[in-house]
C-alpha cells in the first residue's frame, strides 16, 4: 500500500461554522493549500503581508502531504492571495478568533495505491470490521514529526530543566530529511551557536528573529529565548509527548481488556499501534463510549483498569504524574483531557479497483469518509489495509515496477561534517541511565 504519491491522492475538506458579524474584527477566509502544513501556510502569509502571528487564528492543523481546505481568520486585515499552492477566498467577518470549536467535521477522499488482488480480497473483511468496530482513535505519525527529524521530544528536555538542549533542537538541529531554507537556517546556528551577534543571511531566518534578539541581550537565558517562540508551537511540543503517552496507555489497556490474540499490530513513526479484530459482543460493548485520558499532573481516574494502563507507561519512563511539568515555567504546561477511545468513520465508501498508473501491474482504489475533528484519516486507511503495515516482513506482492534509486539530495551548507543525530530509542535509554546515575549519587550523598 502506498499513500500520498501525489498531492491530489489525499484531499480533506473542512466542514465549519462561524457566527457572521459584518463589523467583526476578524476577516475569515477559506484557505486552500497543497504540500504545505498549516504552520507553513500561516508563516508565509505573515511574512508576505507583515502580519503578527498572534493576529492569525484557525480551526486546526491540516496535513502537509495532500491538498486541504480549512478556515483561517486575520484580525483587522484584509488581503488577497492566489498562488498555485496557497489560495485564500474571503467568506465574511466574525467577532471572535477561530478555534477548533468552529470545525464540525472533515471529509476525506484518499487514493490508496500499489495494491494487488490479495489486498482487495482481504479488504472486504477489513471494511466490515471497521464499519462494525470503528477505529482506535490513536494519534498518527503526523503528530510525531520531531522524531522523524531526529529531535526527539523537545518537551522532555524542558521537563529536565535543560533549556539549552531544547533550544538547540529548535534552532540548531537541521533535519537530515529537510532540504528547505529552514534547514539551512538551523545549520547556520548549529555552526555558530552562541555567536548571537552574527547576522544569519539565509532566507527564513526572520522566523527566529525574536529568539535570537533575546539571546543577544541575554546570552545564557535559554528559557527566556524559548518563551519567544510561537505559543501554539510550544503547546504542540507538549501535546506530542502527551499523544505518545496516550497511544502507549491505550495499547496497554487493549492488551488487558481485549487480549493480545485479538489484536493486530501496525508500524508508525513512534513504534507500533494495536487494533482489535473480530471482537465478540461483550468486548465490543466494553470499548464503546469509552474515553482515555491525556495525562497531566492533575489527572484523576475513576476506572482502575484505565489508571493502571496509563500509569504503567509513566512507570516505563521512570516518571509519575507530578513529573509532567516544566520547572519554573508555568507558560508551558500539561493540561488533562479525555479523548474518545474509538472513532467511527461516517459515510465510509470504497470505490472500484482500477489500474494504478503510478505502479505498473498494480491497482488503486478510492476511499472516502468523514471524521470528527481531531481524528486521523490516515489511521482509518491503515486499519483498512493493516496487513500491509505489519511489523513482520514477508508479505507477498504481485509484479511491480522496479524501484529506482532516489537522487542524492544536495548537501546543506556546513552540514557535511555534522554528526548524525542520535536515534530516538538511544536518547531514551541515555535519559533513563542518567536518571539512574543521579539517584545513585543522591543515595551515596
Q: Are 64 and 103 in contact (CB under 8 A)?
A: no
Q: What is the pTM of this model?
A: 0.77
**Mean of all residue pLDDT scores within the chain:** 87
Instruction: Note the pLDDT of residue 396.
Output: 44
Tens of pLDDT, residue by residue over 120-148, are 999 999 999 999 999 999 999 988 887 86
CATH 3.10.129.10 for domain 19-97, yes or no, is no
pLDDT beyond 80 at 393: no
pLDDT beyond 80 at 440: no
Residues in the chain: 445
Tens of pLDDT, residue by residue over 7-26, are 889 988 888 889 999 999 99
- List all residues 6 or more positions away from 438 whose beta carbon is below 8 Å from its beta carbon: none
Q: What is the rounded distance in angstroms from the CA atom of residue 91 to the CA atom of residue 29?
A: 5
Best CA proximity match to 8, nearest among 32, 30, 44, 38: 32
Beta bridge partners of 10: 110
Q: Report which secondary-structure segment, H or E, holds 231.
A: helix 231-257
Alpha carbon 22 to its chain centroid, in Å, reads 35
Grouping H, G, I as helix, E, B as strand and the rest as coil, residue 75 is: strand
Q: Is 114 exposed, middle or buried (0-12, 13-18, 19+ CB in 10 A)?
A: buried
Instruction: Note the pLDDT of residue 192.
Output: 96
Pairing of strands 342-343, 346-350: unpaired
Asked whether the CA dihedral 312, 314, 316, 318 is positive or negative, the reply is negative
Best CA proximity match to 166, nearest among 247, 229, 244: 229
The CA-based angle 30-35-37, given to 5 degrees, is 65
Q: Report which secondary-structure segment, H or E, holds 306.
A: helix 304-316
Q: What is the C-alpha end-to-end distance of the chain, expressed in Å?
A: 57
Best CA proximity match to 190, nearest among 411, 409, 415: 415
Q: Which residue has the higher pLDDT, 365 or 432?
A: 365
As a 3-state breakdown, the chain gives helix, strand, coil percent values, each rounded to 5, of 40, 20, 40
Best CA proximity match to 151, nearest among 127, 126, 134, 168: 168
Give the DSSP letter of residue 71: E
Residue 311 CB coordination number (10 Å): 18
Q: Are 7 and 66 in contact (CB under 8 A)?
A: yes
C-alpha cell at 72: 483561517
pLDDT beyond 90 at 178: no
Q: What is the rounded distance in angstroms from the CA atom of residue 27 to the CA atom of residue 55?
A: 10
Q: Give CATH 3.30.70.3160 domain extents, the chain.
A: 19-97
Residue 309 CB coordination number (10 Å): 22
Best CA proximity match to 378, nearest among 137, 146, 57: 137
Give the DSSP letter of residue 132: H
Query: What would the DSSP string read from start to end of 325-341?
Result: S-TT-TTS----EEEES
Q: Are 241 and 157 in contact (CB under 8 A)?
A: no
CATH 3.30.2350.20 for domain 110-144+234-389, yes or no, is yes
Q: Is 67 exposed, middle or buried (0-12, 13-18, 19+ CB in 10 A)?
A: buried
Q: What is the rounded distance in angstroms from the CA atom of residue 211 to the CA atom of residue 333?
A: 20
pLDDT beyond 50 at 326: yes
Q: Give CATH 3.30.2350.20 domain extents, the chain.
A: 110-144+234-389
Tens of pLDDT, residue by residue over 254-306, are 999 999 999 999 999 999 999 999 888 888 988 999 999 999 999 999 999 99
Instruction: Note the pLDDT of residue 435.
Output: 62
Tens of pLDDT, residue by residue over 181-197, are 888 999 999 999 999 99
Asked whether the CA dihedral 414, 420, 425, 431 is positive or negative, the reply is negative
pLDDT beyond 50 at 412: no
Q: What is the rounded distance in angstroms from the CA atom of residue 302 to the CA atom of residue 257?
A: 16
pLDDT beyond 50 at 410: no
- R_g of the chain, CA atoms, integer Å: 23
Amino acid at each position: 500500500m502506498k499513500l500520498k504519491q501525489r498531492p491530489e491522492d489525499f484531499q480533506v475538506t473542512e466542514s465549519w461554522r462561524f457566527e457572521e458579524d459584518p463589523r467583526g474584527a476578524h476577516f475569515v477566509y477559506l484557505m486552500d493549500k497543497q504540500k504545505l502544513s498549516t504552520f507553513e501556510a500561516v508563516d508565509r502569509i505573515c511574512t508576505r503581508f507583515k502580519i503578527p502571528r498572534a493576529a492569525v487564528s484557525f480551526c486546526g492543523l491540516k496535513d502537509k502531504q495532500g491538498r486541504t481546505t480549512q478556515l483561517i481568520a486575520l484580525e483587522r486585515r484584509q488581503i488577497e492571495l492566489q498562488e498555485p499552492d496557497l489560495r485564500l477566498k474571503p467568506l465574511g467577518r466574525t467577532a471572535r478568533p477561530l478555534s477548533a470549536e468552529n470545525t464540525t467535521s472533515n471529509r476525506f477522499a484518499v487514493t490508496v495505491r500499489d495494491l494487488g488482488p490479495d489486498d482487495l480480497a482481504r479488504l472486504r473483511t477489513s471494511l466490515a470490521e471497521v464499519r462494525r468496530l470503528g477505529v482506535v482513535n490513536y494519534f498518527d505519525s503526523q503528530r510525531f514529526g520531531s522524531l522523524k527529524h531526529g529531535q526527539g521530544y523537545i518537551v522532555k528536555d524542558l521537563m529536565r530543566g535543560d533549556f539549552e538542549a531544547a533550544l538547540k533542537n529548535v534552532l540548531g538541529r537541521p533535519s537530515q530529511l529537510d532540504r528547505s531554507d529552514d534547514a539551512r537556517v538551523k545549520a547556520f546556528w548549529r555552526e555558530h551557536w552562541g555567536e548571537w551577534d552574527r547576522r544569519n543571511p539565509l532566507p527564513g531566518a526572520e522566523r527566529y528573529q525574536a529568539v535570537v534578539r533575546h539571546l543577544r541581550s541575554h546570552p545564557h537565558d535559554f528559557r527566556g529565548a524559548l518563551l519567544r517562540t510561537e505559543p501554539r508551537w510550544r503547546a504542540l511540543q507538549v501535546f506530542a509527548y502527551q499523544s505518545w503517552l496516550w497511544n502507549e496507555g491505550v495499547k496497554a489497556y487493549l492488551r488487558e481488556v481485549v487480549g493480545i490474540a485479538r489484536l493486530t499490530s501496525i508500524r508508525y513513526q513512534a513504534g507500533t499501534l494495536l487494533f482489535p479484530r473480530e471482537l465478540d459482543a461483550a468486548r465490543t460493548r466494553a470499548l464503546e463510549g469509552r474515553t482515555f485520558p491525556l495525562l497531566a499532573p492533575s489527572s484523576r481516574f475513576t476506572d482502575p483498569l484505565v489508571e493502571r494502563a496509563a500509569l504503567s507507561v509513566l512507570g516505563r519512563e521512570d516518571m509519575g504524574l507530578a513529573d509532567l511539568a516544566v520547572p519554573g515555567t508555568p507558560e508551558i504546561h500539561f493540561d488533562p483531557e479525555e479523548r474518545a477511545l474509538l472513532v467511527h468513520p461516517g459515510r465510509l465508501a470504497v470505490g472500484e479497483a482500477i489500474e494504478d498508473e503510478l505502479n505498473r501491474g498494480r491497482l488503486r482504489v478510492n476511499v472516502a469518509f468523514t471524521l470528527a475533528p481531531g481524528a486521523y484519516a490516515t489511521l482509518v486507511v491503515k486499519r483498512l489495509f493493516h496487513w500491509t503495515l505489519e511489523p513482520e516482513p514477508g508479505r507477498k506482492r504481485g509484479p511491480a515496477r522496479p524501484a529506482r534509486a532516489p537522487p542524492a539530495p544536495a548537501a546543506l551548507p556546513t552540514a557535511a561534517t555534522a554528526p548524525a543525530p542520535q536515534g530516538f530509542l538511544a536518547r531514551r535509554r541515555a535519559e533513563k541511565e542518567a536518571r539512574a546515575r543521579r539517584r545513585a549519587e543522591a543515595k551515596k550523598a
